[in-house]
Amino acid sequence: MKAFTDLYWQLDATTSTSEKVAALRDYFASAPAADAAAALAVLAGGRHLRSVSTSQLREWAADVTGYPAWLVEECYAHVGDLAETLALVLPTPEAAADAATDPGLAELMRTTIHDLRGADEARTREMVMEVWRRLAPRERIVWHKLLTGGLRVGVSRTLVARALAEVAGIDQAEMAHRLMGDLPADAAAFADLLVPEATAADSRRPYPFFLASALDRTAVEQVTEDLGDAAAWQAEWKWDGMRAQIVRRGTDTTVWSRGEELVNNAFPEIVAAGSTLPPGTVLDGELLAVCDRHLLPFAMLSKRASRKHVTKKILAEVPCVFVAYDLLEEGSVDLRAMPLAERRRRLEQLVPTPFTDLLAGTAAADAGCLFLSPLVAGGSWTDLAANRAESRARGVEGLMLKRLASGYSVGRTRGDWWKWKVEPLEIDAVLLYAQAGHGRRAGLHSDYTLGLWDDGKLVTVAKAYSGLTDAEIVELDRIVRATTLEKHGPVRICRPTVVLQLAFEGVSLSTRHKSGLAVRFPRIVRWRKDKAPADAGTLADLRRMIAADG
C-alpha cells in the first residue's frame, strides 16, 4: 500500500506529463504483478463501487476519537475532503507498517473493499478499525478514497498506456488497444498485458475511440475562418445516442460502449446484426432507440443500456438500431490510418441503407437494425448552418464535422473532428438549496439545487455545479448563509432570493423526478441579478420545450 500511496502523491503533486509518465512507469516496473493489476484498475478509470458508506465512516471516526458527531461534520465542512478529514482526526496508528507487514494494494483491496460488499455492519466496522490502526495518515487518505469509490487521480488512460508501453517495450497505440474492455484482474492477466506478442484476448477488443472536440464558435464567418473550405469536410448529424463499436472477428461478435463496457446482453439484436458482417470487421457508430419511425429520448436508451438482461417486453418498448459512421477494420486490416473519405466509401458498400430511410419509412422490410449514418448536404458553411438550425426538429444535437483527409485517431485529438452543436435550451430558475463544495471550494456553498414555479410553488428541477466565477461563488455563498432557513448537514435550505439562468441540452418526461421532468446536462449560464424570483420560469415553460427539443 505504501508504494501505491507514494505513486498517488507523486501524481497529485505535479502537472508535468513527463513526470507523471515516469512515476507510472517506475511503479508498474517495480510493483508486484497483482498490485500492478489492482493499481491499473484504479488508474485506468475502472468502475469502483463503494463498500462502506461515508456516513458510517464519519460515525465510526466519532466513536474512535470521542469527538461529537457534529464536530466531525464541521471538520469535514472546513476541510472539504472526507478522506483527508478522517485521516486528520483519527489517532496516530499504534504501529506503522514496515516493509514486511505493509499490506499490498491487491490484498488490501480484496480484504477491505471487495470482500466487504454485502458484509454485515459489525464485520465491516471491525475491518475498518483494524486498517486504521495499521496505516499512516497519508496512506489512510488514499485508502479512504478507495473505500468510498472516490479516488480520482490526475492521469488519463492515454498516460497510463504510454507508461505501460514503455515498460512492455511495445507501441503505445497497441497498448491503448489492449487496455480497451476488461482490465487485468490478477497477476497473470497483468503479465499477459506486457507480452510483446498478440494474445487471444486482443481479438475481442474494440479500438480506442476517437472523440470530437467542441466547436465553440457558432457564427458562420467564424467557423469559416477556423475550418477553411467546407469542401474539405464531411458533415453528419450529431445523434443523441450511445457511442459504440461492433467488433466482428472470427466467429465472435461483441458490442462495446464508449465507456469500454461489453454490452452484448443489453443489445442482443445489435449482436445478431453484427454477426452478419464479414469476419474481420469493426464499425464505429451510435446506438439509438427508435420506435414507429421516431427517435426515443436518450433516457429510455440509457435505461436499457444499464440492464444485464432485456426481456421481450423491453425489446418491444425500446427497440434499438446501430447507426454506423466509420469503418475501422475490414478483412482484418486496420484502416484507421486511411483517409476518412476512403473509409466512408468502403462503409457505404458494406452498410448501404441510410438511417434516414428507416425514419422516412422507405427502408426495406428486411433492413434489420444496422444502418448508415447519412451525410448532411451542404456546398457551403451557410448551407450547413441552415441544416444545423433544423437539428432540434430532427431530434439531433447539431452537426459533426470531420476532415475528409483525416485518419481515425485516439482520444480527443483536436483539429480533425468537431461537434457543432446547437445552442442549449435555457430557463431562469430559483436557487432553493445549496451544498458546500469540496477541494479548493471547501467551505463555500457551490453546489446548487434550482426550482421553477408550478401553481404558486417552487418545485426542484435540477442540480448544477458549474458556470459561475470564483468571485460569484464567494458572493453567492454570503447570500446563502444570510438567507438560510434550515440546515441539514452540508445542505442549506435558502429563502428564495436568487435567480440563475440554467442551460441544458434537452428535456424529457420523467417518473423519477418530483417535477415530472428531467433536464440533460444542466449548468449555470449566468447570475440573473436583474430578475426577482417571481420572474423565474415555470414547469409549463419547461414542458413546452419538450416539443421544441424534438
Dist CA 195 CA 186 (whole Å): 15
Question: How many other C-beta atoms lie within 10 A of the C-beta of residue 298?
Answer: 21
Contact 279, 248 (CB under 8 A): yes
H helix intervals, 318-460: 340-350, 355-360, 381-388, 391-394
Q: Identify the residue whose cell numbers are 469503418.
A: 327
Contact 179, 157 (CB under 8 A): yes
**Nearest of 140, 3, 19, 2 to residue 83 by alpha carbon:** 140
Residue 90 to residues 6, 26, 141, 349, Cα–Cα distance (Å):
21, 32, 11, 66
Return the bridge partners of 426, or none.
Answer: 503
Contact 404, 232 (CB under 8 A): yes
Catalytic site includes residue 238: yes
417-421 and 213-214: which strand pairing? parallel
Contact 398, 238 (CB under 8 A): yes
**Nearest of 24, 310, 19, 1 to residue 132 by alpha carbon:** 1
Max intra-chain CA distance, the chain = 75
Dist CA 430 CA 162 (whole Å): 46
Helices then strands, each counted (H, E), the chain: 22, 20
Looking at 20, 145, 238, 402, which residue is catalytic?
238
Contact 143, 135 (CB under 8 A): yes
Active site residues: 238
